[in-house]
Amino acid sequence: MSKKVIEGLYYTKSDEWLKVENSIGTIGITDYAQEQLGDIVYVEEIKKGAKLNKGELLTTVESVKAVSDVYSPVSGEIFEVNQNIIREPSLINKDPYGEGWFAKIKINNPEEIKELMNASDYSEYRKE
């Protein structure tokens, strides 16, 4: 079964996605990532106001199979956290690109976005 990859988002090699609107980025994990993890049972609290550099740890998710780190695709400040996934982690499995988003970040350096993959590049990367 082919994993869902959404056009218009940016992707990392560690399977995070980033949706950019103005200078705000919404961060989540890909359909591929949630499927690899299996049923997600816990998401570590994400700190609002945290300043992260690109590639730094955003949070940790636990599934029935594994514990996995989620990294920030860009540098910036977390200004909104999706509390719904803290209360109901299965949202990430059900809707990784919608209700299952993790956090919103004020992007410090828009240049970093250019280092991320687009949908077709990510699809190619995941085929390998």
- Indicate which CATH number applies to the domain containing 59: 2.40.50.100
- pLDDT per position as a tens digit, 7-57: 999 999 999 999 999 999 999 999 999 999 999 999 999 999 999 999 999
At residue 75, the pLDDT reads: 98
- Tally of domains in the chain: 1
What SS3 string covers the chain? CCCCCCCCCEECCCCEEEEEECCEEEEEECHHHHHHHCCEEEECCCCCCCEECCCCEEEEEEECCCEEEEECCCCEEEEEECHHHHHCCHHHHHCCCCCCCCEEEEECCHHHHHHCECHHHHHHHHHC
96 in a structural domain:
yes
* pTM, entire model: 0.96
At residue 1, the pLDDT reads: 38
Query: Does residue 2 carry a pLDDT above 90?
Result: no
Q: What is the domain range of residue 86? A: 10-109
